[in-house]
Structure formats: structure tokens, C-alpha cells
């Protein structure tokens, strides 16, 4: 079972829907939590149908900001406990594991309202003794190094959020991938990066899912990066790579010589071995060029 949480900054953009379709096909999350949907319930229903999910709940946008949505695959094993403008509290039934609780959270973005966010977490803590996991955009940071650029985060905000998590007995689940999940003014002198999105859980939940892992996924359709939580991390055995000729190699002058030397190296063998010899030489030589091309592409 897996879960996706993302501040999508609006479900009205075709690129956002395309990304959700792609990530659903690739990662197959059982639950998707979206914040800042900027959408009405009708739009969320369309997205739910497009992704082929069984059920959803939507907190509609008010004015020009906000909006939450929770979509799930297995309607029978999921129960919504409470839904507000800032969170959707959800109970999950896993076969062989039992019941646990998930809260999709969206903290108040206004600095003067951060104490409201902390109060919500404290109130949620008192409502259940189930294994509990909270993931979303908290609009808060725990440490100074979770921000790059701009003014330093005030210490009272760092301390207040950290102490709230400690009181709730919620510990950070860590992450794989990019450290900063939100950014503004990329490439300029005012570029700011922060880790506002995270997953936290209590001891019972971490004991229930000791191999759980949070992955930060790169995406260009929002200023926030999505979080993908895999409850039972799978270990894949590496497969033997098959040779594939890259068209970009033809542009390199050295390619002709590599083929020539590879062919001549197998001159005493049959044509199958000659082709294999060429492939091995090309793969050894062309790997660096392919990586360099991908690096340049990523930079662009």
C-alpha cells in the first residue's frame, strides 16, 4: 500500500492532471491527498473518475485559495473521521495489519496563524490511540538548515512547531530525494527554498510499518514537490541491462572507430559474436556520453 500527498496549486491545469495520471500509473498509490486544489467538488469528482479511484471527499475552495481533496482506491477499507479546511482525518483498514489513522494536513500559510496549526495537531492527537501518520504541507520547518535563501526562519516558529510534534509524539519519517519541497523565484537573486512538506508518525505507526519510506518526487507543475509514502518498501533485484543503441552516438566522430574496433576484435568469430563485441564496446564508450547528455538536458 502507498500514499501520495501533494500541494498541487490548482486542479484546473492540464499539466497537473497529466502528472497525476502519470504518477498513478507509475507508483499506483492507494490514497492521494491534495491541498490547495482551488477547485469545486465537481472538478475533484472528475479527477477521481479520470484516475479510476473508488471514492473521494472534497473541501471546496473558498475565495481564491485553499481546497482539499482525498481520493482512495478501496472504498470499503477507508473511513473519513473529520474534514476541515486544514486537514482530512482518515481511518484505514489493512488486511493482516489492522486499523491505523492517516491525516492529510495543510498548515495555515499566514505566519500569525501558525499557532492555530499547532493547536489543530494537538487536538487531533487527543482523539485516537490508533497508529497515526500525518503527511502534507505543514507550512512550517523544524530546523534552520531546512531553509535556503531569504531571511532566517524565526526561532519561535522553529521551536513552536518542533515542540508541537514532540507533544503529539510524532517523529519525522525522513525522506529520499530533494531536501527542499517548496521554492520561489528560482534562478534569481531572490531564490528561496524550504522544506515545508513532510511525513511524521507516532511510535505505534512506525512499529506497524518499520520499512516505510517517504520519497520526494520532482515535478515542474507546482512550487511544491509531492511526497510518496510507501508502507512496505520493496527491494528489487537489478536486472541485466540489454544493449540499446542510442541515436545520439551517431553525432560523435569516435562512434565509427568504436564500431570498427569492436567488429575487428571478433574477426575470428561468427557474426553474432561480432555484433555482441560491437555492442559491448559501444556500451562501455557511450555510457558516459548518454549520462552527459542527460545532465545537460536536466540543466536546461
Cell numbers given for 188: 534569481
Average confidence (pLDDT) over 286-295: 70
pLDDT at 256 over 80: yes
Percent of the chain scoring above 90 in pLDDT: 64
How confident is the model over 103-154, as pLDDT tens digits?
999 999 999 999 999 999 999 999 999 999 999 999 999 999 999 999 999 9
Distance (Å) of CA 261 to CA 127, 282, 287: 72, 10, 17
pLDDT (mean) for 270-274: 80
Say how far residue 264 (Cα) sits from the centre of its chain: 49
pLDDT-based confidence at 235, cuts 50/70/90? very low
First to last CA, the chain: 35
Is the pLDDT score of 237 beyond 50?
no
Task: Name the residue with higher pLDDT: 246 or 58.
Answer: 58
Distance CA 239, CA 235 (A): 12
What pLDDT was estimated at residue 124? Answer: 96
CATH class of 2-230: alpha beta
Burial class (CB in 10 A: 0-12, 13-18, 19+), 151: exposed
Compute φ and ψ for 176, nearest 5 degrees. -120, 130
How far apart are alpha carbons 48 and 131 in whole angstroms?
A: 27
Q: Is the pTM of this model over 0.85?
A: no
User: Would the pLDDT of 71 be above 60?
Assistant: yes
Q: What is the structure's pLDDT at 267? A: 63
Task: Render the burial of 184-207: b for 16+ CB within 10 Å, e for the rest.
Answer: eeeeeeeebbbbbbbbbbbeebbe
For 73-101, what is each residue's pLDDT tens digit?
A: 875 578 899 999 999 999 998 877 889 99
- Is residue 236 over pLDDT 80? no
pLDDT at 80: 92
What residue spans define the domains of the chain? 2-230, 247-299
Residue 103: how many other CB atoms lie within 10 Å: 23
Dihedral sign for Cα 199, 204, 207, 209, please.
negative
- Residue length, the chain? 300
Is residue 238 very low, low, confident or very high in pLDDT (cuts 50, 70, 90)?
A: very low
pLDDT digits (tens, 9 = 90+) for 47-62: 999 999 999 999 998 8
Amino acid at each position: 500500500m502507498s500514499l501520495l500527498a501533494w500541494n498541487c496549486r490548482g486542479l484546473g491545469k492540464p499539466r497537473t492532471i497529466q502528472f497525476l495520471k502519470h504518477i498513478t500509473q507509475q507508483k499506483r498509490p492507494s490514497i492521494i491527498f491534495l491541498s490547495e486544489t482551488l477547485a469545486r467538488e465537481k472538478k475533484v469528482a472528475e479527477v477521481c473518475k479520470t484516475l479510476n479511484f473508488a471514492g473521494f471527499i472534497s473541501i471546496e475552495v473558498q475565495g481564491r485559495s485553499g481546497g482539499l481533496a482525498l481520493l482512495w482506491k478501496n472504498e470499503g477499507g477507508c473511513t473519513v473521521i473529520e474534514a476541515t479546511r486544514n486537514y482530512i482525518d482518515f481511518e484505514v483498514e489493512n488486511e493482516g495489519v489492522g486499523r491505523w489513522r492517516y491525516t492529510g494536513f495543510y498548515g495555515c500559510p499566514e505566519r500569525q496563524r501558525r499557532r492555530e496549526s499547532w493547536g489543530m495537531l494537538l487536538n487531533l492527537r487527543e482523539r485516537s490511540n490508533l497508529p497515526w501518520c500525518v503527511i502534507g504541507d505543514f507550512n512550517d520547518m523544524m530546523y534552520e538548515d531546512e531553509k535556503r535563501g531569504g531571511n532566517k526562519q524565526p526561532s519561535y516558529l522553529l521551536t513552536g512547531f518542533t515542540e508541537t510534534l514532540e507533544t503529539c509524539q510524532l517523529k519525522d519519517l525522513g525522506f529520499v530525494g530533494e531536501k527542499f519541497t517548496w521554492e520561489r523565484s528560482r534562478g534569481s537573486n531572490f531564490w528561496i527554498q524550504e522544506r515545508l512538506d513532510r511525513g511524521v508518525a507516532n511510535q505505534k505507526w512506525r512499529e506497524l510499518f518499520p520499512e516505510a519510506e517517504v520519497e520526494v518526487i520532482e515535478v515542474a507543475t507546482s512550487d511544491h514537490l509531492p511526497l510518496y509514502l510507501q508502507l512496505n518498501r520493496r527491494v528489487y533485484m537489478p536486472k541485466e541491462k540489454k544493449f540499446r543503441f542510442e541515436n545520439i552516438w551517431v553525432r560523435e566522430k569516435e562512434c565509427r572507430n568504436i564500431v570498427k574496433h569492436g567488429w575487428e576484435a571478433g574477426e575470428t568469430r561468427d557474426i553474432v559474436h561480432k555484433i555482441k563485441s560491437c555492442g559491448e564496446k559501444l556500451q562501455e564508450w557511450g555510457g558516459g556520453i548518454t549520462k552527459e547528455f542527460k545532465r545537460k538536458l536536466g540543466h536546461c
